[in-house]
Amino acid sequence: MISTEVGQHVDIDGLRTFYVKKGSGTPLVLIHGGSPGACALVNWGANIDFLADSGFMVHAYDQPGYGRTDNPDDFSLEFRTRHAKAFIDAMHLDRYVLMGNSQGSYIVARQALEDPRVEKLILVSSGTLAPRGASARSEEMSREHSERLAAYTPSLENMRALSMQTMYRPDVVTEEFVRLRYEMSTGKNAESQTKRQGTPAPRPVYGDLKNLKIPVLLMWGAHDSGVSLDRSLSLLESIPGAELHIFDNAAHWVQWDQADRFNTIVRDFLKA
Domains of the chain, residue spans: 8-271
pLDDT in tens, 184-229: 999 999 999 999 998 998 888 999 999 999 999 999 999 998 888 8
What is the average pLDDT across 2-24?
91
Q: Average pLDDT, whole number, for the chain? A: 94
Q: Which residue has the higher pLDDT, 12 or 126?
A: 12
pLDDT interval class at 249 (50, 70, 90): very high
Q: Which of 35-44, 60-69, 124-133, 167-176 is the least confident region?
A: 124-133
Q: Edge-to-edge strand order for the sheet containing 26-31?
A: 8-12, 15-22, 56-61, 26-31, 96-101, 118-124, 216-221, 243-247
Whether residue 134 has pLDDT greater than 80: no
Following DSSP, what letter does each residue of 197-263 receive, concatenated? Answer: TTPPPPPP-GGGGGG--S-EEEEEETT-SSS-HHHHHHHHHHSTT-EEEEETT--S-HHHHTHHHHH
pLDDT in tens, 34-66: 999 999 999 999 999 999 999 999 999 999 999
pLDDT at 209: 96
Whether residue 114 has pLDDT greater than 90: yes
pLDDT interval class at 2 (50, 70, 90): low
pLDDT at 258: 98
Fold of 8-271: Rossmann fold (3.40.50)
Q: Letter for the amino acid at 268? A: D
Whether residue 135 has pLDDT greater than 80: no
Q: 26 near 10, Cβ under 8 Å? A: no
CA–CA dist 31, 103 (Å, integer): 9
Q: Computed from CA positions of residues 176, 255, 197, 89, in that sequence, does the dihedral angle turn out positive or negative? A: positive
pLDDT at 133: 66
Calculated CA dihedral for residues 64, 67, 71, 77, nearest 10 degrees = 30
pLDDT at 143: 77
- The answer, as to whether pTM is greater than 0.85, is yes
- N-term to C-term CA, the chain: 27
